[in-house]
């Protein structure tokens, strides 16, 4: 067995077997590799804005503070009465999975508050990650042009129910299923500017992902981010009505 000799300051000789040195070196290298793998998989990574579920399960109801955020319905599709005391402006994306998760909470809001609430859908397609969202938004406007808000909400529900198969051909087919030919409208990009205006207004309301809600009550806007549970909407609405 070969040996490695090291001479100390007092000329004494320390003998270390190369086999032992190799074992220690291998152990150190293995430890470093483990640390590097851990850092790689757990280190901070840039977030992708897709809309976030921001509810905290240990504290599901956030503290309600009147925000300076404002958003209007513009001329977009509405469910409920225009003069309802509670107006929920939703900035959303038909291809966003978190947006579809928000639908049950909104349905419960409608059941709980009835004629006191109206919901307005405004387009906020995240085109960088949802390539079919822009045309889906335009398709909804094409349908609305022909069949008003009643047709719009039918198309809205149809697209959310089939998020995984959104395509221009399917959008045209689904519109026909509910009685409307939108081929020329969709191909022309007639409502591209309308969708862009909604997106601009969403950004002005400090929305950075979808879904994003602004609850207007008595002239004050309350912002809710993400696919929140009904309890969070209820807290905001009840506190706003009590003021």
**What pLDDT is stored for residue 30 in this prediction?**
52
Q: Of 97 and 64, which is predicted with more confidence? A: 97
Q: Whole-angstrom distance between the N-terminal and C-terminal Cα of the chain?
A: 87
CA gap 85, 94 in Å, rounded:
27
Cβ atoms of 143 and 180 closer than 8 Å: yes
- Across the range 80-85, mean pLDDT stands at 97
Q: Is the pLDDT of residue 73 over 50?
A: yes
How many Å apart are CA 57 and CA 149, to the nearest integer? 36
Tens digit of pLDDT for each residue in 185-212? 999 999 999 999 999 999 999 999 999 9
pTM above 0.85, yes or no: no
Per the CB < 8 A criterion, the answer to whether 89 and 216 are in contact is yes
CA 127 – CA 115 distance, rounded (Å): 34
Q: State the DSSP code for 178.
A: T
Which class does domain 78-242 fall in? alpha beta
pLDDT at residue 151 is higher than 80: yes
């Amino acid at each position: 067995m070969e040996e490695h000799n090291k001479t100390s300051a007092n000329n004494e000789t320390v003998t270390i077997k190369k086999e032992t040195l190799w074992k220690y070196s291998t152990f150190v290298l293995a430890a470093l590799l483990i640390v590097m793998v851990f850092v790689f998989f757990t280190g901070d990574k840039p977030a992708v804005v897709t809309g976030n579920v921001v509810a905290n399960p240990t504290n599901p109801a956030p503290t309600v503070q009147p925000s300076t955020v404002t958003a209007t319905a513009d001329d977009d599709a509405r469910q409920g009465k225009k003069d309802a005391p509670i107006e929920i402006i939703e900035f959303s994306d038909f291809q966003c999975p978190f947006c579809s998760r928000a639908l049950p909470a909104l349905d419960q809001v409608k059941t709980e508050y009835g004629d006191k609430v109206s919901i307005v859908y405004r387009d906020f397609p995240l085109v960088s990650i949802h390539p079919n969202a822009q045309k889906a938004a335009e398709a909804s406007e094409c349908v609305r042009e022909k069949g008003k808000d009643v047709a719009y909400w039918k198309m809205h529900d149809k697209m959310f129910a089939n998020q995984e198969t959104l395509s221009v051909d399917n959008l045209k087919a689904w519109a026909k299923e509910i009685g409307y030919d939108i081929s020329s409208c969709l191909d022309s990009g007639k409502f591209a500017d309308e969708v862009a205006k909604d997106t601009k207004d969403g950004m002005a309301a400090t929305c950075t992902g979808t879904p994003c809600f602004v609850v207007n009550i008595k002239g004050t806007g309350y912002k809710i981010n993400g696919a929140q549970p009904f309890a969070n909407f209820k807290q905001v609405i009840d506190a706003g009505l009590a003021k």
